């Protein structure tokens, strides 16, 4: 096993190699990049992240399909859709995400954007600038997202929360897109209140496998505690931007099959 300094240098090198514009085209992050309006980017990115399990090409294609059904103007569609407009969505499905789920997402976005300009406000309900990470932000978002009176029980499986000890991979990935700011052009850096230092690594089986190979992760379960454990290790390398290392771990695990 490489020593700690060599491992740090290796991971920084890999992070720089994959945190490049070429990464966008084949990753779900390409979806919010299709739009210029902030709210469109938020909504498109949210769906892309929620759909992000399985084949990346399928994820991209299904999210693009949904954006077309929303006239490629998701913010306007969510705010101003009619019953007739919603009929165009009735046959949309992605894996276990079905019409019931989609219609509730539409209701939530309409409710939220009637009262807020940005989706960031939805993640600030329980969040504090002094929090070490986004645990309370994600728990607060879950409660807020399902606060409408017609929230279907089945839809709750699509929104993770640390309170359920989920690793929250997809939401953490979405937050990376919205919050991280650098000069590479992959992450959009749209939000101002949540800080990159508070973000948590989007932990999935590929990332956790690589982390365990490098002895960066001791916990055997791929859950919230493991995501925080790995993030805290990455803070040793990048204290103000630990999820920068997501590029290294994801690239090694998914693209290099490490």
pLDDT of residue 255: 84
On the 0-12 / 13-18 / 19+ scale of CB atoms within 10 A, 220 is exposed
Q: What region, left, alpha or beta, does residue 46 occupy, with left being phi > 0 and alpha being psi -120 to 50 degrees? A: alpha
CB 188 within 8 A of CB 33: yes
CB 235 within 8 A of CB 242: yes
Task: Spell out the alpha helix ranges (H) of the chain.
Answer: 4-18, 22-25, 38-50, 56-69, 74-80, 83-87, 99-113, 135-145, 169-179, 205-213, 224-237, 246-250
Looking at the DSSP assignment, which residues form a beta bridge with residue 94?
97
Q: Is 96 helix (H, G, I), strand (E, B) or coil?
A: coil
Mean pLDDT of successive 10-residue stretches along the chain, which has 258 residues: 78 97 97 98 98 94 98 97 92 95 97 98 92 96 96 97 97 98 96 97 96 96 98 96 97 87
- Cα–Cα dist 52/46, whole Å: 10
pLDDT of residue 1: 45
CB 18 within 8 A of CB 258: no
pLDDT of residue 48: 98
C-beta pairs of 115-121 under 8 Å, 24+ apart in sequence: 117/38, 117/39, 118/38, 118/39, 118/42, 118/190, 118/191, 119/39, 119/42, 119/43, 119/46, 119/178, 120/42, 120/178, 120/190, 120/191, 120/192, 120/193, 120/194
Residue 224 tokens read as 């919230």
pTM of the entire predicted model: 0.96
Residue 29 tokens read as 């992050």
pLDDT of residue 8: 94
């Amino acid at each position: 096993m490489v020593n700690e300094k060599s491992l740090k240098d290796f991971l920084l090198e890999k992070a720089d190699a994959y945190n490049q514009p070429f990464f966008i085209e084949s990753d779900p992050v390409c979806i919010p990049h299709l739009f210029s309006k902030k709210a469109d980017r938020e909504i498109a990115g949210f769906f892309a992240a929620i759909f992000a399990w399985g084949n990346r090409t399928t994820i991209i294609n299904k999210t693009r399909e949904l954006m077309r059904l929303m006239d490629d103007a998701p913010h306007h569609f969510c705010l101003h859709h009619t019953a007739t407009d919603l009929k165009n969505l009735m046959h949309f499905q992605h894996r276990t995400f079905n019409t019931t789920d989609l219609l509730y997402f539409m209701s939530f976005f309409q409710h939220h954007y009637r009262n807020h300009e940005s989706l960031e406000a939805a993640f600030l309900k329980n969040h504090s600038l002094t929090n070490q990470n986004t645990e309370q932000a994600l728990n607060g978002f879950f409660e807020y997202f399902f606060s409408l009176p017609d929230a279907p029980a089945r839809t709750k499986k699509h929104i993770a929360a640390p309170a359920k000890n989920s690793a929250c991979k997809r939401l953490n990935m979405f937050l990376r897109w919205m919050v991280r700011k650098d000069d590479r052009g992959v992450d959009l850096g749209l939000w101002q209140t949540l800080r990159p230092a508070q973000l948590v690594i989007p932990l999935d089986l590929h990332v956790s496998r690589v982390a365990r190979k490098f002895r960066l992760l001791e916990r055997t379960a791929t859950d919230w505690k493991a995501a925080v454990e790995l993030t805290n290790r990455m803070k040793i390398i990048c204290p103000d931007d630990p999820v920068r290392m997501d590029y290294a771990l994801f690239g090694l695990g998914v693209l290099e099959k490490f």
